[in-house]
Structure 1
């Protein structure tokens, strides 16, 4: 596993543990099913990730990390527009 991938995986797991991942998903008005489809996993997998009963792994975890990063960026952009 490359360093960048390991760092993304650590970030994903941290976001799940802190509840940030679920907050980002809900703020973006995305269902668990929509996130699951975007990551190529079953809905129950994302549900388990968010509940802390499973740790994301492999390509699906990296796809989830990329999605979370985009949601963070969108959230930051909205926050900046609202404070301007």
Structure 2
């Protein structure tokens, strides 16, 4: 079994006295922990904040993905002839 670092991720609200957030334990390999530390250092934040930020960023990307696909499909259809000519 690989070495695993345990990081307890606790919502900011937990520390503020309001129990709106959820606490969880995140099990990371040494390499993942080092990557998270590098993210945190680069952004001048704690590892907990870096993990939350990464989750929020990825969720935003996933939310936008269907719109991007729809636009790309529309552009491919609209410019199909031009793209075919450019490909020759």
Q: TM-score, normalised by structure 2?
A: 0.35
- Pick 1 or 2: higher relative contact order, CA cutoff 8 A, min separation 6: 1
Q: TM-score, normalised by structure 1?
A: 0.36
If each structure's strand is expressed as a fraction of its own residues, which one has the higher value? 2
